[in-house]
């Protein structure tokens, strides 16, 4: 099945249980409360769910529009089924998220990456983000690269 044929929609509350079943395997480690239920139940209209025609999940993105900075769209996490990687699914998640956030008035998008997560770093750099290293951003020893770029997301 082609990436363009995947069905995209906002997140729903009942997607949480499905995501919970796959997310640790997809990430390669336990994700825990980073994938908080509130992103599905309370922030679902901001997020993105991609599925095939089974329908089976292919990838999803948890994000929001900042209350403190209403022009800022913020990606909390995104993940793609390993069997689908390298085909533009992650980029499509971002395109959908950014298009909806842009329609709501956002002019920039931000995401974090741990310095050791090569795939995430390369992904954001390929999508035109600029990263700034923030030592101890998430606590002592928890450095993060803060990636940001303007909207619209044109590649
Ligand atoms: C990061 C992730 C979402 C990328 O998904 P994907 O569907 O493979 O990404 P895409 O195919 O859309 O790639 C988009 C661009 O990023 C680049 N990219 C993606 N993964 C890459 C990797 N591992 N190494 C180098 N470049 C990579 C691609 O080459 C592509 O650039 P191009 O179009 O110029 O060739 C996926 O690897 C993943 O789910 N990883 C585990 C979870 C994670 O780290 N999430 C991010 C932090 S929350």
Taking only the tens place, the pLDDT of each residue in 70-97 is 999 999 999 999 999 999 999 999 999 9
Question: 72 or 155, which is more confident?
Answer: 72
Percent of the chain with pLDDT over 90: 97
Is the predicted pLDDT of residue 11 greater than 90, yes or no? yes
Chosen CATH of 3-150 out of 2.40.110.10, 3.40.50.720, 3.40.630.30, 3.40.50.300 = 3.40.630.30
Question: 154 or 117, which is more confident?
Answer: 117
29 CA → ligand 1 middle, Å: 17
Is the predicted pLDDT of residue 44 greater than 90, yes or no? yes
> In angstroms, rounded to a whole number, what is the distance separating the alpha carbons of residues 23 and 28?
8
The answer to whether residues 128 and 39 touch, using CB atoms and an 8 Å cutoff, is no
The residue nearest atom 24 of ligand 1, judged by CA position, is 119
Percent of the chain with pLDDT over 70: 99
106 CA → ligand 1 middle, Å: 23
Per-residue pLDDT tens for 124-152? 999 999 999 999 999 999 999 999 999 99
61 CA → ligand 1 middle, Å: 13
Torsion of the alpha carbons at 100, 101, 106 and 110, rounded to the nearest 10: -140
Ligand 1 pocket: which residues have CB below 6 Å? 27, 77-80, 85-91, 117, 119-120, 122-123, 126
pLDDT reported for residue 81: 98
Q: How many CB atoms lie within 10 A of CB 60?
A: 26
Q: What is the DSSP string of 70-131?
A: TTEEEEEEEEE-GGGTTSSHHHHHHHHHHHHHHHTT--EEEEEE-TT-HHHHHHHHHTT-EE
Is the predicted pLDDT of residue 155 greater than 70, yes or no? no
SS3 label, residue 40:
helix
Closest to 83 (Cα-Cα) out of 124, 25, 31? 25
Is the predicted pLDDT of residue 60 greater than 70, yes or no? yes
- What's the token pair of residue 112? 């974090």
**Distance between terminal CA atoms of the chain?**
23
pLDDT band at 106 (very low <50, low <70, confident <90, very high): very high
pLDDT reported for residue 154: 77
Is the predicted pLDDT of residue 123 greater than 90, yes or no? yes
Q: Which residue has the tokens 């390298």?
A: 86
The answer to whether residues 56 and 89 touch, using CB atoms and an 8 Å cutoff, is no
């Amino acid at each position: 099945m082609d990436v363009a044929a995947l069905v995209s929609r906002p997140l729903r509350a009942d997607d949480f249980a499905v995501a919970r079943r796959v997310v640790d395997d997809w990430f390669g480690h336990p994700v825990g409360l980073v994938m908080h239920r509130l992103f599905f139940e309370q922030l679902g209209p901001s997020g993105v769910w991609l599925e095939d025609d089974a329908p089976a999940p292919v990838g999803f993105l948890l994000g929001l529009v900042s209350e403190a900075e209403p022009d800022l769209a913020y990606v909390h996490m995104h993940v793609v089924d390993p069997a689908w990687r390298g085909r533009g699914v992650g980029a499509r998640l971002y395109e959908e998220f950014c298009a909806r956030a842009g329609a709501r008035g956002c002019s920039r998008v931000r995401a974090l990456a741990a310095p050791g997560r090569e795939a995430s770093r390369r992904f954001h750099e390929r999508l035109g983000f600029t990263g700034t290293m923030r030592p101890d951003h998430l606590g002592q020893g928890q450095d993060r690269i803060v990636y940001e770029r303007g909207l619209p997301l044109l590649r």
